[in-house]
Amino acid sequence: MPPHDIKVEDNDMTVFEELKARGLIAQMTNEEKIQDLLDNHRTSFYIGFDATADSLHVGHFLQLVVMSRLQKAGHKPIALIGGATTMIGDPTGKTDMRKMLTREEIDHNAECFRRQMRRLVDFGEGKAVMVNNADWILPFHYMDFLREVGIHFSVNRMLTAECFKSRLEGKGLSFIEFNYMLLQSYDFLHLYRTMGCHLELGGDDQWSNIINGADLIRRVDGKDDAYGMTFTLLTTSEGKKMGKTEKGAVWLDPEKTSPYEFYQYWRNVQDADVIRCMKLLTFIPLEEIADFAKLEGSAINSAKERLAFEITKMVHGEEEAAKAQEATRALFSGGASADMPSTQLSEEDFTDGAVTVADLLLKCGLAPSKSEARRLIDQGGVFLDDEKAEGAMQKIEKSRFAGTGLIIRKGKKTHHKVSL
């Protein structure tokens, strides 16, 4: 690989130094060699994405940010869509076998991934490429695969991998899932041979799969210039995985998680997590982040607002980020916004010109049942225009919903506008 003029970050750090300073790097197979690859050469690297759903989620977002950061530094990303590996399902972090998807479902999901990735990664000519491992794995005859790839894997060693150990201690591991590590390892070998890819990246839960890929290249081709690096997993200060709400995953698809809800998720992160999220997920300069880190008390809200705006802008564009920000500011100042999740009531929803708070929660989808609605209200977790609801059977007159409507708040983070 010839030397290449690698762009340094705005603060005069090299890209490798920036990754370390932001806390993005978890593990590396060879730190010295990887630093040389990233700081002194134009390097092709790959990250794999199994198409298990029709949208990427917050967990994928960190990987896309790293991909974008390295591309801006002059490197060439290879985004690998797991058209074949999705047919098996990665057992990592799962207590049960993943749902088996059809080829048609996988192809649809892969196309959705492509559209979403293009917001963060430039797939223009010579800049980044997108490949699908179905193109080289599906034509592979099973006996040939066993003889070329399987012979290099020790079952004893594989069983020491955390992804297998946890499953074997629980509900067990199917034979089809046991093949996943071999297939992912072969992906690295194939890209090394055909595209000159010398570096595989992924979340830290992928460490076992990544090091086995580099080892396969060494065993099959006799080369020791393939390396692996994992990212820090996106967790809270309490160690819980981020990207989940009461409604489920936080998706990058605006049809599954609206730009407003997406913005709200980041606007409402815990104080202890704001600075870490800024470092991991945004391009805000480290010097500016250091200034935000000095904020205390309610002043930290300005950091949360900046975090939410920057991430929403990257995923949904500046216009949607600005609309979500405006809606949130209106909410906190006591106003209302058309971008907030909303429900429109009809005459059928009223009895004698009023509706109870419990019925209103059910209508808006804020409670799954009347008993749950009563529990929320009795615990003091429901507010009507910032006034605590008095009880489940409290009646709200129809006139309260006229004009800009009424805002229901459930807990600290869930807001819903109700109008006529």
52 is catalytic: yes
Q: What's the length of the chain?
A: 420
Give SS3 for 250: coil
Residue 132 CA from chain centroid, whole number: 20
C-alpha to C-alpha distance for 231 and 27, rounded to whole angstroms: 7
C-alpha to C-alpha distance for 311 and 62, rounded to whole angstroms: 10
User: Pick the catalytic residue: 20, 42, 94, 119?
Assistant: 94
User: Pick the catalytic residue: 60, 167, 276, 323?
Assistant: 60
41 is catalytic: no
C-alpha to C-alpha distance for 361 and 180, rounded to whole angstroms: 45
75 is catalytic: no
User: Pick the catalytic residue: 244, 374, 398, 400?
Assistant: 244
User: Pick the catalytic residue: 63, 85, 116, 184?
Assistant: 184
98 is catalytic: yes
Spell 373-393 as b/e; 16+ CB within 10 A means b. bbebbeeeebbbeeeebeebe
To the nearest 10 degrees (0 to 180), the angle between helices 259-267 and 318-332 is 60
379 is catalytic: no
Token pair recorded at residue 412: 């600290």
User: Pick the catalytic residue: 52, 236, 343, 394?
Assistant: 52
User: Pick the catalytic residue: 54, 205, 225, 271?
Assistant: 205
Q: Identify the residue whose tokens are 């998680």.
A: 257
C-alpha to C-alpha distance for 88 and 86, rounded to whole angstroms: 5
DSSP string for residues in 315-326: HH-HHHHHHHHH
Contacts of 107 (CB under 8 A, 6+ apart): 83
C-alpha to C-alpha distance for 254 and 244, rounded to whole angstroms: 16
CA 162-164-168 angle, to 5 degrees, is 115
416 is catalytic: no
User: Pick the catalytic residue: 72, 193, 241, 294?
Assistant: 241
375 is catalytic: no
205 is catalytic: yes
245 is catalytic: yes
Give SS3 for 191: helix
378 is catalytic: no
Amino acid of residue 108: H
**51 near 109, Cβ under 8 Å?**
yes
- Scanning 76-174, the segments in alpha helix (DSSP H) are 103-117, 134-137, 142-148, 155-158, 162-168
Bridge partners for 355 per DSSP? 396
User: Pick the catalytic residue: 14, 27, 245, 343?
Assistant: 245
The catalytic site residues sit at 52, 57, 60, 94, 98, 184, 205, 241, 244-245
